[in-house]
Structure 1
Amino acid sequence: MRNALDHAALDAALDHVHRAGMPGLFAEVRAGDRVWRGAAGVADVATGRPVTADMRHRVGSVTKTFTAVAVLRLVESGRVDLDAPIGRHLPELVPGERGEAITVRMLLDHTSGLAEYLPYAYPSLKAFPVLAETGPESLDDLRHTRFDPVELIGMGVAAPPVGVPGGGPGVYSNTNYLLLGRLLERLTGTTAERYITRHVIEPAGLRDTAFPDGPHVEGPHARLYEAWFGMIDPPRDYSVYDMSWVGPSASLISTVADLNRFYRLLLAGEIVAPESLERMRRTVPVVSQEGKVIAYGLGLHPMEAPGQEVFWGHGGTVWGGGTLAMARADGERQMAVAVNLQRWNRLDDSGRPQPHPIDEALAKLYHLAMYG
């Protein structure tokens, strides 16, 4: 059956990820009006407290879809043009010829050529993405640092360009979405976080989704364990962290149920107009932070298996936490999965992440959740 849910198989797949080495994970899968929720493992390795499917979680770059939706709502109201130069709105942040060449659309789909600011904000990551030459020291040093988004944007703009504006493939960069956050602020007179909350989160009825107002995750949540490719052993808890280092690019807190509701409404055309949704799903090739070329739209990217239907959504990571939320194009089947360990792959002699049993177990869970 097209929308059948095998609860026993999903329970087993979730448990397999835990047994492969994931401390804890939880998920929700929806198929039509049928819902499965599950959890496996622990939220706290010290106490053995179990994870539950209703926990709140830092969802990382899933935030980008919310920010993109907010920008598109302004496009629909005529307050900004997707092909307008960003220098027209933020000349002090992207000055001169680059400001005239880079458009709002290029920020949304990562074809601006602007570099990632992360290696410049975190000194021990200065060699990123050459992983073997990085280290985790900055993760501790900057745990309670309050970053200024303008300074972070400045780092990305001042760094050597990673491409020509509008050229391909694009390169995934959080600098793009911090700029979109400043654009929202400039156009609306309020912070990006407040605007997204009032015009995206609240109208969608997402009761457990919010931007953090401090370093803590409010409500029931799991601790988040970062391994940094085996350089932190045992993995360290980073669940208490000032998220100003990513802001409207990746700081959102949500639940798997809320994420499924959000993407279901989005793909049903209930959050943005059909023409906006069509623009969001028009993809270009983009080099991900893992060095892979992926298809990327405006805050959305597709996933599909050979011969199978396309799913749309976004993934995200923060220090210690990861999330993937995907919905079938018709919105009738959905998956949201949250994990509380990141960068579990150790590096080989050439500095490349080695395969880990967690990778295969997660891939099997995703495939079962999306295709049955």
Structure 2
Amino acid sequence: MKRQDFNYELPEELIAQDPLMDRASSRLLVLNKETGAVSHKIFSDIMGYIKPGDCLVLNDTKVIPARLIGSKIGTDAKVEVLLLKRKEKNVWETLVKPGKKLKPGARVSFGDGKLIGEVLEVLEEGNRLVRFDFDGIFEEILDELGQMPLPPYITHQLEDKNRYQTVYAKHSGSAAAPTAGLHFTPELLREIQEMGVEIAKVTLHVGLGTFRPVKVEDILSHHMHSEFYQVEKSEADKINQTKKKGGRIICVGTTSCRTIESAAKDGKVEAGSGWTDIFIYPGYTFQILDGLLTNFHLPESTLIMLVSALAGRENVLKAYEEAVQKRYRFFSFGDAMLLI
């Protein structure tokens, strides 16, 4: 399978730069994963496609304001540090710009010295291991000084940080939002539960590798980034009971999908935590997932490959073509797609 097999033409003006004021008012393209038939709806119409006895799986990770702007101590040169993974209490794997000037021992000041970062080590791919020194609580300092690490195709910062969080975000650790969940309001989720749909929550901390393009021509040679996930026993039980009773498992977002498929064994979800680098592409047999709610993804990305594994590459690319024609909004702040 070639990377170019998952390409499509997207006019730049269809890349959504801002979220809608009303989360649930975005458009919803419904794709029948068996027939390829397409319907055009509003997101709140999702109520007509899920049934009592189904289970909706949400990723309750919370995005941290992981982008820090500071100055190198000694030269005052501007430095940008992006927190990727917490290694120890005060030590993070980071992406640094400009990286060449920050060798081990270099120190960076953020917020007039409120936070000091020292480069400990240069890792593979040029990432840096940085130890932070501060007085107080790191998360509170980060909330004050940090910016949301928006995807590279978003050209400006958000006025309201919370618009890059789902309404059910709980466990801090992501460098990017699980954006399919941005469409839900508390009221809509309550209505869904009241109609007899189970809601299970899992956690996968989304890394910036989610935006990393596939560069190899043969997709089987692509190396996936790893991300931390956790599934509590109570939530695994909800999913397994739904499956046992014949209900459908509908994941909200590719991250929820990757979590439950990573935790699957013999057709059941096992409680636990770990790191997953699962790569789902056409030919993959889903153990748990039956349906998927997702946004529209970048051409030639691992995410459009995952969606194609569920509904077929031809069906997906045809639906994307129709979405472009109908002027849907694409990517993180864009419209949604339901594959059912």
TM-score by length of 1: 0.26
Specify the structure having the higher radius of gyration (Cα).
Answer: 2
| Higher fraction of helix | 1
| Higher fraction of strand | 2
